[in-house]
Amino acid sequence: MDAMKVGLLGLGVVGGGTWNVLRRNGEEITRRAGRQIEVVSVAVRDVAKARARVGEDVRVSDDPYAVVDDPNIDIVVELIGGMTTAKALVMRAIANGKHVVTANKALLATHGTEIFEAASAQGVMVAFEGAVAGGIPIIKAIREGLTANRIEWVAGIINGTTNYILSEMRTRGLSFEQALKQAQKLGYAEADPAADIEGLDAAQKLTLLASMAFGIPVQLDRAHVEGIATLSAFDIVQAEHLGYRVKLLGITRRCNDGIELRVHPTLVPVSSILANVEDAMNAVMVSGDAVGQTLYYGKGAGEEPTASAVIADLVDVTRLHTADPGNRVPHLAFQPESMVDTPILSIEDIHSAYYLRFAVNDEPGVLAEITRELSLAGISIGSMIQQPPEQGEATLIFLTHVALEKNVNRAMVAIEAMSFMRSTITRLRVESF
Amino acid sequence: MDAMKVGLLGLGVVGGGTWNVLRRNGEEITRRAGRQIEVVSVAVRDVAKARARVGEDVRVSDDPYAVVDDPNIDIVVELIGGMTTAKALVMRAIANGKHVVTANKALLATHGTEIFEAASAQGVMVAFEGAVAGGIPIIKAIREGLTANRIEWVAGIINGTTNYILSEMRTRGLSFEQALKQAQKLGYAEADPAADIEGLDAAQKLTLLASMAFGIPVQLDRAHVEGIATLSAFDIVQAEHLGYRVKLLGITRRCNDGIELRVHPTLVPVSSILANVEDAMNAVMVSGDAVGQTLYYGKGAGEEPTASAVIADLVDVTRLHTADPGNRVPHLAFQPESMVDTPILSIEDIHSAYYLRFAVNDEPGVLAEITRELSLAGISIGSMIQQPPEQGEATLIFLTHVALEKNVNRAMVAIEAMSFMRSTITRLRVESF
């Protein structure tokens, strides 16, 4: 059979990895896919550098439209990242009847609905395994492997940079700033680390996972997002004393009134598998009513792990491109006409257990006042630590049972107004799955 | 679109679970699959009992051929287990042009080559996600999710019964017999537990995983299989002292001269994720040259977890049945004409690290003689424990570095002939991945 002809937009980290792996494993990939997958054209900024890398048989251009408009190309692989240009190129490729493979989570979490609609109308596939959790085939698992299930929740460590920083803070007692610097030195964090440490990257991935788990449109703007920049080493140590480890989790859960969609530092039991996912590794846990809890673990970023996902998509497209479009795997797991508009819950309306740390004057009656206020708000306490006072300041830490967040907020406002409070309350969420 | 019409052979644990989940989640499954998946016919031993369960709208027969020969049926789901009848029914269904879904690992690990050839010739699919690791979509991960990779090895806890027994032996200090009895009482082990505890069940699953990882024919008879019945609680404790946990692993690895295919109790580092897979849970680790190590975790057996896999296969078949057969996912991951005949290595030719326990007379020179013999065979020692002697008997435990098994055998024969030996050597393999 004829080779599938691929045009590559971008030859950076993931693009370069895709090129390398396709060359190194080309023979084995062909044995699986049933036909050759051949990169025939690349678009890059630096043509001379790319030419040196890909040789004379591949078209090299600095105009990405030369790729997406090339009638010879079956699949366009978008790996330039960013939003505006990437979107225009992807839409043009679709309009030209080409299949698209992309690892661009920001693009799909923002414009996914429009892009998938256009693709469905044109009868082409937009595959994006590389957009979530690198080489871990988590999109395939949710979209195809767990189709029997009513999915209850998905919770994952889906940002390797922050997981590395949290691992270093815990095991080596570093501050956030120290751990971040080290992550940057080792290439785990970018020079501008904002998207990672503020949780946006995780929120983009979680948004896609939630759509596929529950059949809802992508709604990044409805996600509640907290990063790890304000997390203190002290709380990580206290959590450990209580039997918990702090992870930046993306959590999406189906509740009676809607769907929770939230990214924030989370205490998980030390003995849980998620707690033991260390360094820059990713893991996603999926709970379904039939299968129970399943977990998927691996490298969530990097040149070849992400290339592994991109090429898996290329093989999928190669295997499926002759199939009747109406019978292919739907982009967001559910048939487009079967998507539902279950609302995303406000963070005020979620249920969670909580870690609450109070810095208070070391004086009588404080504990009684705090516990009374929590009790008034309907919050019951699971366990407590009181630290020995220093310079007249005592530290109280509570782990609560599951409560409604707006009740916790109400109690926090009331307690923070009390005269014995030395500073604002530190609040972290706790999930035991 | 018309419903996909399913005929169910067997309404036992997995068949009953499949029926239940299809009914409970039918609406959500249809939203994903794009059309209804409807059980129209079941074949069972006890017709009256089945009739009471499935109602009047489903055909119930005690003749399975009434199902596989029914021209109205698109997909036959074989869940009766066993070999001869199951094979005849599956082959007849294929000959009738029907797709087949089965969870019958024994059947496929033994007759897979013949069955898949027949299916390819007829242009039908034989899907078997439920045959390995219950609800974990591990077959999909290897066959589709990791297609970019040259797979290096697969290692898994793929038998829940033995993992439960080993967990109980370790955490509660039970003997194998006590733990087995408890497993039987709780329904984790069958009345005749031989296939589980002797490793055959794991070997059948591993055989299928190896075929898909390396593109080789199924060769159950070439697998090396050791169970856990002779494992002593003492060695589990000693392993823990050395920083290892004992798991029954299925391991298949690509080496220079061939492929390792082996099931046996294995020491894995306590801090590894595999070591922390407890009770009846399963987990499979897959190492690929691009993706690195990935892991898939979940319930490996049971009514609804296995039903989850069976129904995922039904949805896959529903989505793909209109696709050109030549472009579907190949049964064993590689195109039939691209399978290779890489030999399976004899256990003598594998490489592993080893745990060796010697019961010896408490007399001078013993340690020197043993270490000299190991050294002569080219085996180097990583660490050692010497237990205080009891009644003139000393216990020596060595952890070796990686060695060729036949060299270890040679040294063991030589040492066992020595006069200070009180009993045969206990040998367990050690893998650190």
**Predicted local distance difference test score (pLDDT) of residue B294:** 98
What average pLDDT does the segment B137-163 reach? 98
Residue of B nearest to A297 (CA): B295
Whichever domain contains A327, its CATH number is 3.40.50.720
Rounded Cα distance, B79 and B347, in Å: 33
Question: Which of B150, B295, B298 has the CB atom closest to A298's CB atom?
Answer: B295
Q: Do B141 and A141 touch (CB under 8 A)?
A: yes
Mean pLDDT along residues B148-162: 98
Torsion of CA A33, B94, B202, B303, to 10 degrees: 110
CA proximity to A10, closest of A68, A95, A94, A69: A68
Q: Same domain, yes or no, for B288 and B142?
A: yes
Contact A25 B319 (CB under 8 A): no
Q: How far apart are CA A299 and CA A280, in angstroms?
A: 7
**pLDDT score of B153 more than 80:** yes
Q: Which residues of B touch A293 (CB under 8 A)?
A: 298-299
pLDDT for A385: 93
- Nearest C-alpha of chain A: how many angstroms from B390? 37
Tell me, what amino acid is at B317? V
The residue length of chain B stands at: 433
Torsion angle, alpha carbons of A375, A402, A245, A367, to 10: 0
Q: What is the pLDDT of residues A354-399, one digit of tens each?
A: 999 999 999 999 999 999 999 999 999 999 999 889 999 999 999 9
Predicted confidence at residue A316, as pLDDT, reads 97
Fill in the DSSP letter of residue A338: G
State the count of interchain CB pairs (< 8 A) between A and B.
236
Torsion, Cα of B160, B146, B141, B188 (10° steps)? 0
> B36, B146, B278: which to substitute to probe chain A, counting the most A Cβ within 10 Å?
B146
Our CA-based measurement puts residue B369 at a distance from the nearest CA of chain A, in whole angstroms, of 42
Residues of A in contact with B274 (CB under 8 A): none
What CA dihedral angle connects B126, B130, B133 and B135, to 10 degrees? 130
| CA-to-CA dists, residue B146 to A16, A25, A299, A309, B250, angstroms | 18, 12, 13, 7, 19
Does residue B241 fall inside a structural domain?
yes
Q: What is the mean pLDDT of residues B336-347?
A: 96
- Angstrom distance (rounded) from CA B282 to CA B296: 8
In this predicted structure, what is the pLDDT of residue B271?
87
Q: What are phi and psi of A155, to 5 degrees?
A: -140, 130
3-state SS string over chain B?
A: CCCEEEEEECCCHHHHHHHHHHHHCHHHHHHHHCCCEEEEEEECCCHHHHHHHHCCCCEEECCHHHHHCCCCCCEEEECCCCCHHHHHHHHHHHHCCCEEEECCHHHHHHHHHHHHHHHHHHCCCEECHHHCCCCCCHHHHHHHHCCCCCEEEEEEECCHHHHHHHHHHHHHCCCHHHHHHHHHHCCCCCCCCHHHHCCHHHHHHHHHHHHHHHCCCCCHHHCEECCCCCCCHHHHHHHHHCCEEEEEEEEEEECCCCEEEEEEEEEEECCCCHHHCCCCEEEEEEEECCCEEEEEEEECCCHHHHHHHHHHHHHHHHHHCCCCHHHCCCCCCCCHHHCCCCCECCHHHCEEEEEEEEEEECCCCHHHHHHHHHHHCCCCEEEEEEEEEECCEEEEEEEECCEEHHHHHHHHHHHHCCCCECCCCEEEEECCC
Is A30 in contact with A63 (CB distance < 8 Å)?
Answer: no
What's the CA gap between A51 and A60, in Å, rounded? 6
For chain B, what percent of residues have pLDDT higher than 90? Answer: 96
pLDDT in tens, B4-45: 999 999 999 999 999 999 999 999 999 999 999 999 999 999
Q: Would you call A31 and B290 a contact, using CB atoms and an 8 Å cutoff?
A: no
Does the model's pTM come out above 0.90? yes
Neighbour count for residue A417 (Cβ, 10 Å): 9
CB contact under 8 A, A137 and B140: yes
* A300 close to A282: Cβ distance less than 8 angstroms: yes
Residue B260 and residue B432: Cα distance in Å, rounded? Answer: 16
Q: Give how far A281 is from chain B: nearest CA, Å.
A: 10
Q: Is residue B100 part of a domain?
A: yes
3-state secondary structure of A405: helix
Q: How many domains does chain A have?
A: 3
Residues A282 and A362 in one domain: no
Residue B344 in domain: no
- Determine, yes or no, domain membership for A343: no
Phi, psi of A36 (to 5 degrees): -70, 145
Domain match, B74 and B154 both: no
Q: Give the 3-state secondary structure of residue A4.
A: strand
Report CB contact under 8 Å: B297, A296. Answer: yes
Q: How high is the pLDDT of residue A260? A: 98
Distance, in Å, from the CA atom of B44 to the CA atom of B182, rounded to the nearest integer, reads 31
Nearest CA in chain A to B142: A137
From the list B140, B148, B276, the residue facing A145 with the nearest CB is B140
- Interchain pair B312, A140: CB under 8 A: no
Closest by Cβ to A291, choosing from B298, B318, B323: B298
Considering the domain architecture, whether residues A290 and A232 belong to the same structural domain is answered as: yes
Residues of A with catalytic roles? 205
Average pLDDT score over chain B: 96
Residue B422 backbone phi and psi in degrees, to 5: -90, -25
Looking at B316, B338, B360, which one is the last position of a domain?
B338
Domain span at residue B111 reads: 4-135+303-338
Task: Give B-chain residues touching A24 at CB under 8 angstroms.
Answer: 150, 289
User: Do B291 and A308 count as a contact with CB atoms less than 8 A apart?
Assistant: yes
Residue B326 confidence class, pLDDT cut points 50, 70, 90:
confident
Supply the Cα-derived Rg of chain A in whole angstroms. 24
Rounded to whole angstroms, the Cα distance separating A365 from A372 reads 11
Closest residue of A to B308, CA-based?
A148
> Does the pLDDT value for residue B1 go beyond 80?
no
Percentages of chain A per state (helix, strand, coil), in multiples of 5 = 40, 25, 35
Lowest mean pLDDT among B106-110, B161-165, B206-210, B270-274: B270-274
pLDDT of residue B424: 97
* In-domain check, residue B343: no
User: Do A34 and B327 make contact, defined as CB atoms within 8 angstroms?
Assistant: yes
Same domain, A106 and A220: no
Burial class (CB in 10 A: 0-12, 13-18, 19+), A379: buried
- Cα nearest neighbour of B272 on chain A: A276
Q: Do B298 and A298 touch (CB under 8 A)?
A: no
Per-residue pLDDT of chain A (433 residues; tens, 9 = 90+): 789 999 999 999 999 999 999 999 999 999 999 999 999 999 999 999 999 999 999 999 999 999 999 999 999 999 999 999 999 999 999 999 999 999 999 999 999 999 999 999 999 999 999 999 999 999 999 999 999 999 999 999 999 999 999 999 999 999 999 999 999 999 999 999 999 999 999 999 999 999 999 999 999 999 999 999 999 999 999 999 999 999 999 999 999 999 999 999 999 999 899 999 999 999 999 999 999 999 999 999 999 999 999 999 999 999 998 888 888 999 999 999 999 999 999 999 999 999 999 999 999 999 999 999 999 999 999 999 998 899 999 999 999 999 999 999 999 999 999 999 999 999 999 999 8
Asked if residue A308 and residue A291 are part of one domain, the reply reads no
Query: Which pLDDT does position A324 carry in this prediction?
Result: 84
Q: Are B219 and B112 in contact (CB under 8 A)?
A: no
Do B153 and B88 fall within a single domain? no
Rounded CA-CA distance B188/B304 in Å is 15
Report CB contact under 8 Å: A292, B305.
yes
Task: Write the DSSP string, A225-269.
Answer: E--STT--HHHHHHHHHTTEEEEEEEEEEE-SSSEEEEEEEEEEE
Asked if B144 lies within 8 A of A34 by C-beta distance, the reply is no
Q: In DSSP terms, which residues pair with B295 in a beta bridge? A: A297, B285
Query: Do B294 and B159 share a structural domain?
Result: yes
Q: Pick the residue from chain B with its C-alpha nearest to A334.
A: B32
Q: Determine the residue of chain A that is closest to B134 in CA distance.
A: A291
**Residue A265 near residue A230, CB atoms below 8 Å:** no
Residues of A in contact with B298 (CB under 8 A): 291-295
Q: Specify the 3-state DSSP secondary structure of A285.
A: strand
Q: Is the pLDDT of residue B121 over 90?
A: yes
Summarize pLDDT for B170-187 with one digit per residue, the tens.
Answer: 999 999 999 999 999 999
Specify whether B271 is located in the same domain as B392. no
Which among B140, B205, B247, B299 is annotated as catalytic?
B205
Are A117 and A228 in a shared domain?
Answer: no
The structure tokens 């270093």 sit at A168
Query: Can you give the pLDDT at residue A387?
Result: 87
Q: Which ipTM score applies to this complex? A: 0.96
Residue A143 DSSP label: I
Question: Average of pLDDT values for B248-257?
Answer: 97
Average pLDDT, integer, range B224-231: 97
User: Are the CB atoms for A158 and A250 separated by under 8 Å?
Assistant: yes
Cα Rg of chain B, angstroms: 24
Answer yes or no: is A344 within a domain: no
Shortest Cα–Cα distance, A270 to chain B (Å): 12
Does the residue A89 lie in any domain? yes
How far from B253 is each of B150, B198, B283, B285, B429, CA to CA, in Å? 11, 21, 17, 12, 15
Q: How far apart are CA A9 and CA A19, in angstroms?
A: 11
Scanning the structure block, which residue is given the tokens 């089965």? B102
- DSSP assignment letter at A178: H
Domain with residue B423: its CATH number is 3.30.70.260
Burial of B418 (C-beta count, 10 Å sphere; 0-12/13-18/19+): middle
**Do residue A289 and residue A155 come from a single domain?**
yes
- Does A345 fall in a domain? no
Dist. CA A260–CA A268, nearest whole Å: 18
- A105 and A221 in one domain? no
| Residues in Cβ contact with B24 at an 8 Å cutoff, skipping those fewer than 6 apart | A150, A289
Which domain CATH number covers B293? 3.30.360.10
Give backbone dihedrals phi and psi of B70, rounded to 5 degrees, phi first.
-75, 115
Residues near A370 by beta carbon (within 8 Å), at least 6 away in sequence? A358, A360, A396, A398, A415
Active site residue B205: yes
